[in-house]
């Protein structure tokens, strides 16, 4: 998988890309990441990448020229014809979620554009980007942190990225549910014991307990997810025993205890 990242602040990526799973994925050749400074593609001698908004108002707008030039330098004169997703990170994009990460993990190459300032000239959205993604309903100072989130979530889905090949299967959201609770040694810590079933060695019982705890937790924290999760008859029976009624699936997300 190859990521091209267009940014005005390549230095922001140094830490996140040089540690842990993403670092290892690059070292083993599973992933390559090219950072491109948008400023290098500004035509004027001062390398200006932003300008005042037409119509007035505060803030600056990223000029289309440097962004088109950068993407064309990377993907060729017809970037959209390359088939490579050209993704603008913006709070106006569609919501980035596990399913989107899974789709992107099937691609060979992805190009990410990090917006800055108050916005990006609309012609970038209309004629250059093929998709727009938001990582949540809040406004960041730019798309850089969002791009790092996308790179991380996609990389860990690539076969071989995690030490344990089954590592991503039970992740929260991978199954459509929140993940079950985890415990490690010691079996008793400050008087708090690990649930006995996990010490039993009975793998069938452990799997059943984990499924039920995932359901219990999802019902308590994110009942909205249950509507889209794929549930067996046994799952539904267990949820009903917890007081879940099918119409609850439209419930608001509860406040955290
Ligand atoms: N740029 C600024 N805020 C953002 C967000 N929430 N998601 C993606 N890109 C952004």
H or E element, residue 225: helix 223-226
| CATH label of the domain that carries residue 218 | 1.10.1270.20
- Atom number of ligand 1 nearest to Cα 115: 1
Quick check: is 165 in a domain?
A: no
H or E element, residue 132: strand 131-134
- Give the ranges where 41-195 is alpha helix by DSSP (H): 64-75, 98-105, 122-127, 144-155
Is the pLDDT reported for residue 93 higher than 70?
A: yes
29 and 110: one domain?
yes
15 and 109: one domain?
yes
- The pLDDT value given to residue 251: 56
Ligand 1 proximity of 136 Cβ (cutoff 6 Å): yes
- Which of 7, 131, 134 for a ligand 1 pocket mutation test, highest count of atoms within 8 Å of Cβ? 134
132 and 246: one domain?
no
120 and 223: one domain?
no
Q: What is the largest CA-CA distance in the chain?
A: 70
H or E element, residue 89: strand 86-95
Counted domains in the chain: 2
224 and 106: one domain?
no
Distance CA 198, CA 201 (A): 7
Task: Give per-residue pLDDT as tens, 134-162.
Answer: 999 999 999 999 999 999 999 999 999 99
Quick check: is 128 in a domain?
A: yes
Range of the domain at 13: 2-155
- Which of 88, 95, 115 for a ligand 1 pocket mutation test, highest count of atoms within 8 Å of Cβ? 115
Ligand 1 proximity of 137 Cβ (cutoff 6 Å): no
Rounded to two decimals, the pTM is 0.92
Task: Give per-residue pLDDT as tens, 94-120.
Answer: 999 999 999 999 999 999 999 988 899
246 is catalytic: no
Ligand 1 proximity of 135 Cβ (cutoff 6 Å): yes
- Which of 7, 62, 91, 152 for a ligand 1 pocket mutation test, highest count of atoms within 8 Å of Cβ? 91
Ligand 1 proximity of 87 Cβ (cutoff 6 Å): no
- Among residues 155, 175, 199, the one where a domain terminates is 155
33 and 91: one domain?
yes
Distance CA 109, CA 151 (A): 11
- The pLDDT value given to residue 188: 98
Per the residue annotation, which of 91, 179, 213, 236 is the catalytic one? Answer: 91
- The pLDDT value given to residue 253: 59
Ligand 1 proximity of 89 Cβ (cutoff 6 Å): yes
């Amino acid at each position: 998988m190859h990521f091209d990242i267009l940014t005005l602040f390549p230095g922001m990526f140094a830490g996140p890309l040089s540690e842990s799973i993403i670092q290892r994925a690059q070292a083993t050749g599973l992933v390559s990441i090219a950072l491109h400074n948008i400023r290098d593609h500004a035509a004027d001698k001062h390398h200006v990448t932003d300008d005042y908004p037409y119509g007035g108002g505060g803030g600056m707008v990223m000029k289309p020229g440097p962004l088109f030039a950068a993407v064309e330098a990377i993907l060729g004169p017809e970037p959209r014809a390359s088939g490579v997703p050209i993704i603008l990170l913006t709070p106006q994009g569609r919501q980035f979620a596990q399913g989107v990460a899974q789709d992107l993990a099937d691609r060979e190459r992805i190009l990410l554009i990090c917006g800055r300032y108050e916005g990006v000239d609309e012609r970038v959205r209309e004629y250059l980007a093929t998709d727009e993604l938001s990582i949540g309903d809040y406004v960041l100072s730019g798309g850089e942190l969002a791009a790092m989130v996308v790179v991380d979530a996609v990389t860990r889905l690539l076969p071989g990225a995690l030490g344990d090949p089954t590592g991503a299967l039970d992740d929260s959201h991978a199954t459509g549910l929140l993940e079950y609770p985890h415990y490690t040694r010691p079996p008793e810590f400050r008087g708090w014991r690990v649930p006995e079933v996990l010490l039993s060695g009975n793998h069938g019982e452990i799997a059943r307990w984990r499924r039920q705890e995932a359901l219990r937790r999802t019902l308590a924290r994110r009942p909205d997810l249950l509507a889209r999760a794929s549930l067996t008859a046994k799952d539904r029976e267990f949820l009903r025993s917890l007081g879940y009624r099918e119409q609850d699936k439209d419930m608001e997300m509860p406040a955290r205890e």
